[in-house]
Every structure is written in C-alpha cells, then in structure tokens.
Amino acid sequence: MNKSPLDAFFVGRATAEAVIDRIEEKVTDALSALGKFDAEQREHIRNLVETILEKAEQQRETVKTDDADITPDELQETIDNLRAEIAQLKSELQQFRDR
C-alpha cells in the first residue's frame, strides 16, 4: 500500500472534519440541555412565586375576616393589656437583676 502525502492530507482533513462535527454535536447537545435546565428552573421559580402569593392572599383574607370582628375598643384593650404585661415583665426582670 503506497500512501502518498496527498492521501495523508485527505485522511487528516477527513479526521479533522469528523472531530469538528462531533464537537459541534456535543456542544449543541450541551447548550440544549442547559437551555432546558434554565427553562425548568424558571418554571419552578414562577410556580414557587405563585404559591407564595396565593398563600399570602389567603392569609390576608383570613386577617381581614378576623379584623372585621374586632372593634377599635377591643383592639385598644388588647394593646393596653400587652403594654401592662411588658411593664410587669420589665419590673420582674429588674428585680431579678438586682438580686
């Protein structure tokens, strides 16, 4: 088998083209997979945001319903009771520190 330099050139050229074709195929597959992954992650994030917003709206509606039953006088009474409890706790804490 006589192999001339011209034959070697064409074999080398065909090899390079085959390698380039394989690299292009692999890069295309990788970019496709990356694009698919990105789209899936965006969809997951969008679903998460929708779920969070739905829960927030449900909680807001619950609070609105609960608040409708509370009068301003009851709210002020609750605030006053909390302030009294805080004052009592501060007093007890100060007594504990003084010991």
Residue 85 and residue 41 share a domain: no
Residue 77 and residue 39 share a domain: no
Reported as type and span, the H/E element at residue 83 is: helix 72-98
Given a cut of 90, whether residue 62 has pLDDT beyond it is no
Identify the domain containing residue 46 by its residue range.
1-68
**The tokens 């009592």 sit on which residue?**
88
Residue 24 and residue 3 share a domain: yes
Cα 12–Cα 32–Cα 47 angle in degrees, nearest 5? 170
- What's the whole-number mean pLDDT along residues 6-35? 95
pTM greater than 0.85 (yes/no): no
* Range scoring the smallest mean pLDDT among 18-27, 42-51, 71-80: 71-80
Distance CA 47, CA 43 (A): 6
- What's the whole-number mean pLDDT along residues 26-43? 96
Q: How does pLDDT run across 66-85, given as a tens digit for each residue? A: 656 777 788 899 899 999 99
Residue 75 and residue 64 share a domain: no
Distance CA 27, CA 19 (A): 12
Residue 90 and residue 57 share a domain: no
Residue 86 and residue 52 share a domain: no
Widest Cα–Cα separation across the chain: 107
Residue 62 and residue 18 share a domain: yes
Residue 78 and residue 63 share a domain: no
Confidence of residue 42 (pLDDT cuts 50, 70, 90): very high
What total of structural domains would you count in the chain?
2
